[in-house]
């Protein structure tokens, strides 16, 4: 490890290393069992999200703006699992922890891109529920297929633009001290810490990215549900309220599952110094399990998807 840290001379004015070394979980006994578990998570995630995408694509009644957003979330979940878990398993289960400089930047971009896309898609789904409950008579006029297609296109363009800028700023950094990344993928923060030159633009961009893709969506979702709660109190019957709440239950569980681990990690980081292995375990579990759980929650919590699953199962058994 010390030889890796001293690979580059501090006297060099600018150094772009040929590779990085992803350290991952360090000195934890039986860590390979954790990576085997992640392999299981990946298989379930691929099958679950593929089923959701297949259901929405084949069932004509799901060709609505709401399910277009759900399809987008499934794409984000599937792609995040694909760009993260196989590389992670290959690196640590087969001891191939070296990654080239360009491959590292590509890995950084795609992991953050699909993670941020999940957050933005959950915000779009909150907007869909807000209009459906607060303006039920105007819902089909406001939330149309063309309107949802435009919203999703803007989200993809905005996400890719901001993260392209964030990753491109890494190329201005000189790495003359170490190439050892204390994370489980090419994480932006642990890599920027290794820089010998001024990394303030990178830190500012990291804060801006967190605000744009975490705090702002979280606040917007919270505000949406404040207006939804206000609208629910105006419904006279309990049956009507329960019916409206059921339409939001799956989304609320998805939001809780996505934001709770991140909020807990950020809050803990404000008051305690989080040990590297603990941080890696928390964030890797969150990024791996969320894409696995999202399709399961949606299948179990959404009546239309449950009915389609039963119909498909009965058709195969005939």
What's the pLDDT band for 316 if we cut at 50, 70, 90? low
| Residue from 77, 86, 89, 85 nearest 113 by CA | 77
Q: So what's the pLDDT on residue 67?
A: 92
| Residue from 79, 99, 102 nearest 90 by CA | 99
Q: So what's the pLDDT on residue 151?
A: 96
Q: Is 295 helix (H, G, I), strand (E, B) or coil?
A: helix
Domains of the chain: 2-317 (1.20.1070.10)
How far CA 220 is from CA of 49, 123, 159, 212, 306, in Å, comes to 26, 7, 17, 11, 29
Q: 65-122: per-residue pLDDT in tens? A: 999 999 999 999 999 999 998 888 887 777 788 999 999 999 999 999 999 999 999 9
Cα end-to-end span (Å), the chain: 60
Query: pTM (2 decimals)?
Result: 0.88
What is the DSSP code string of 93-115? HTT--EEEHHHHHHHHHHHHHHH
Q: So what's the pLDDT on residue 219?
A: 93
Whole-number Å distance between alpha carbons of 12 and 174: 9
How far CA 254 is from CA of 40, 244, 283, 315, in Å, comes to 21, 17, 17, 30
What's the pLDDT band for 264 if we cut at 50, 70, 90? confident
Q: 231-252: per-residue pLDDT in tens? A: 888 877 777 778 778 878 888 8
What's the pLDDT band for 270 if we cut at 50, 70, 90? low
Q: 168-177: per-residue pLDDT in tens? A: 999 999 988 7
Looking at per-residue pLDDT, the higher value among 304 and 223 belongs to 223
- The residue behind tokens 């309220």 is 241
On whether the CB atoms of residues 42 and 288 are closer than 8 A, the answer is yes
Q: So what's the pLDDT on residue 6?
A: 46
Residue 8 has pLDDT above 70, yes or no: no
Structure tokens at 164: 């392209």
Looking at per-residue pLDDT, the higher value among 183 and 282 belongs to 183
Q: So what's the pLDDT on residue 294?
A: 87
For residue 181, the cross-strand partners are 22
Q: So what's the pLDDT on residue 318?
A: 59
Q: 12-22: per-residue pLDDT in tens? A: 467 888 999 98
Q: So what's the pLDDT on residue 119?
A: 94
Q: 300-312: per-residue pLDDT in tens? A: 777 778 778 777 7
Looking at per-residue pLDDT, the higher value among 280 and 189 belongs to 189
């Amino acid at each position: 490890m010390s030889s890796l840290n001293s690979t580059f001379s501090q006297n060099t004015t600018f150094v772009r290393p040929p590779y990085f070394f992803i350290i991952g979980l360090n000195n934890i006994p039986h860590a390979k069992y954790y990576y085997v578990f992640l392999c299981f998570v990946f298989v379930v995630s691929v099958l679950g999200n593929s089923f959701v995408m297949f259901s929405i694509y084949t069932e004509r009644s799901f060709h609505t703006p709401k399910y277009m957003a759900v399809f987008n979330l499934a794409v984000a979940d599937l792609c995040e699992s694909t760009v993260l878990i196989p590389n992670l398993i290959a690196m640590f289960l087969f001891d191939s922890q070296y990654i080239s400089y360009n491959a590292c930047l590509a890995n950084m971009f795609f992991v953050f891109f699909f993670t941020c896309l999940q957050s933005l898609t959950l915000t779009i789904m909150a907007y869909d529920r807000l209009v459906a409950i607060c303006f039920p008579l105007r819902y089909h006029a406001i939330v149309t297929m063309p309107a949802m297609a435009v919203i999703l296109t803007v989200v993809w363009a905005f996400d890719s633009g901001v993260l392209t800028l964030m990753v491109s700023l890494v190329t201005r950094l000189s790495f003359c001290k170490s190439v050892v990344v204390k994370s489980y993928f090419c994480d932006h923060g642990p890599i920027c810490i290794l820089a010998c030159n001024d990394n303030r633009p990178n830190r500012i961009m990291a804060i801006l990215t967190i605000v744009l893709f975490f705090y702002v969506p979280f606040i917007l979702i919270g505000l949406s549900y404040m207006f939804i709660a206000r609208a629910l109190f105006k419904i006279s019957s309990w049956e009507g309220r329960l019916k409206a709440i059921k339409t939001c239950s799956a989304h609320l569980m998805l939001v809780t599952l996505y934001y709770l681990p991140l909020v807990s990690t950020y809050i803990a980081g404000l008051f305690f110094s989080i040990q590297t292995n603990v941080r890696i375990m928390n964030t890797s579990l969150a990024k791996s399990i969320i894409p696995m759980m999202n399709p399961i929650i949606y299948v179990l919590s959404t009546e239309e998807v449950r009915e389609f699953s039963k119909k498909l199962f009965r058709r195969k058994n005939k």
